Every structure is written in C-alpha cells, then in structure tokens.
C-alpha cells in the first residue's frame, strides 16, 4: 500500500524487451532508492513494481504484458521522469489516501490552464471508470493523491498547487498525454458489496 504522497522523482534509464514483456531500470540521483531491498514494492508513477535487482542508484523491475497494456508504462522510454514512493509502513504518516498501486486505467490530459498561483487540469477517463469518480473524492494520477474538483460525464478536473507541481511530474504533462489512474478503493468495494446484495 501507498499514500499517494510523492517522495522523490526518478527516471527510466533503460527499457529492455524480454520475451514479450519488458525489464526496466529505474534510478534516482538523490539517493532515495538506496535503501530498497530485493522484493520491495515501489510505486513508479502510480504502478506498484517489485524490486528485481538493485543497482547503485536504483533497481530493475519486470513489467508484464498486463502491466504494459493496462498502464501508461507501454509508452515509456529511457529518459522519462517518474514519480516515486516507497511502500507504506506503520511509522509513515498517511498524508494522502490509501493507494494500492494497481492502476485501474489510462486517462488523458485534455486541458490545463493557470488559475492564480495554481494550475487547473482536466482529464478524460474511460467510460467504465467515470462512475467511480466523485466531486471532492480522491483520485490517484501517476501515483499522486489528488482531490477531484469537478466531474462531468467522462471528464474530471483537479487543482494543482505550486508545491505539488514542483515535486511531481505533473508539470511535464501536455494535452493528450496519457496518465495512470487509480480510483478510490472505497468506491470499488462499495460497488462490489452492492452487487453481492443484489445477487439472489
């Protein structure tokens, strides 16, 4: 589990095709990844990846066909900046919301504009995810815990304060760019509970 509070930024150093899937090398220059161990989980732009091998500045991870198809990682190449967060521990403050690192789908930025010192961003989501997104609810975009400001059909908007813009990769996004989306866990479980009640 994660909190959606980005702790560092890194970059994709290498993308190596391996028998239909991919092995990636992820590094960080600030020493953030120095303490990871084999088998640890690290959220990389919202995708929970398992440390396969440690390197001096980071780690390698294997990305399955499922991960490549269900997330924006299929578009990643060497040099791309990514958001990083290590797994939640009992001593870590829960500053965002509970995030699993299991991406629900890919959204796309459709509009961004300045509003005072903040930025407003509008995203379009797949129709099957739109029902889980509610005004003032939580959403995870590329691993970042954010509050939904408005919702209309398959679009929703968020407000990005200067701190978040500076500490994450959101400032890199241009119109049409793909992002990883994880909807609120509570909405998912509520739907499942309601479905179970309706089943005779």
Question: Which is more confident, 104 or 191?
Answer: 104
pLDDT higher than threshold 90 for residue 184: no
Looking at every residue in the chain, the average pLDDT score rounds to 93
Contact call for residues 8 and 29 (beta carbons, < 8 A): no
The mean pLDDT of 81-89, rounded to a whole number, is: 95
- Taking alpha carbons only, the member of 70, 162, 78, 150 closest to residue 116 is 162
Element (H, E) at 129: helix 127-130
Which domains can be identified in the chain, with CATH numbers?
8-86 (2.40.30.20), 105-195 (2.40.30.20)
pLDDT higher than threshold 70 for residue 36: yes
pTM: 0.91
Estimate to the nearest angstrom the gap between the alpha carbon of 192 and the chain centroid.
Answer: 23
- Read off the pLDDT of residues 120-172 as tens digits, 9 standing for 90 and up: 999 999 999 999 999 999 999 999 999 999 999 999 999 999 999 999 999 99
In this structure, the strands spanning 41-44 and 144-152 are unpaired
What are the C-alpha distances in Å from 73 to residues 18, 63, 124, 195? 15, 8, 18, 32
- State the pLDDT confidence band at 188, using cuts at 50, 70 and 90: confident
């Amino acid at each position: 589990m994660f909190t959606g509070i980005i702790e560092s930024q890194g970059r994709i150093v290498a993308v190596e095709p391996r028998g239909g899937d991919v092995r990636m090398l992820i590094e960080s220059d600030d020493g953030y990844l120095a303490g990871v161990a084999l088998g640890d989980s690290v959220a990389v732009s919202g995708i929970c990846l398992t440390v396969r091998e440690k390197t001096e500045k980071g780690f390698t991870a294997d990305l399955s066909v499922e991960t490549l198809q269900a997330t924006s990682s299929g578009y990643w190449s060497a040099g791309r900046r990514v958001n990083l967060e290590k797994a939640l521990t009992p001593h870590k403050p829960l500053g965002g919301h509970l995030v699993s690192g299991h991406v629900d789908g890919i959204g796309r930025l459709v509009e961004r504009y300045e509003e005072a010192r903040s930025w407003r961003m509008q995203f379009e989501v797949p129709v099957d995810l739109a029902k889980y997104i509610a005004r003032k609810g939580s959403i995870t975009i590329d691993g970042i815990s954010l509050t939904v400001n408005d919702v209309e059909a398959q679009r929703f908007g968020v407000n990005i304060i200067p701190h978040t813009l500076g500490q994450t990769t959101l400032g890199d996004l241009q119109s049409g760019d793909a992002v990883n989306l994880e909807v609120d866990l509570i909405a998912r479980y509520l739907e499942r509970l309601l479905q179970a009640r309706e089943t005779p």
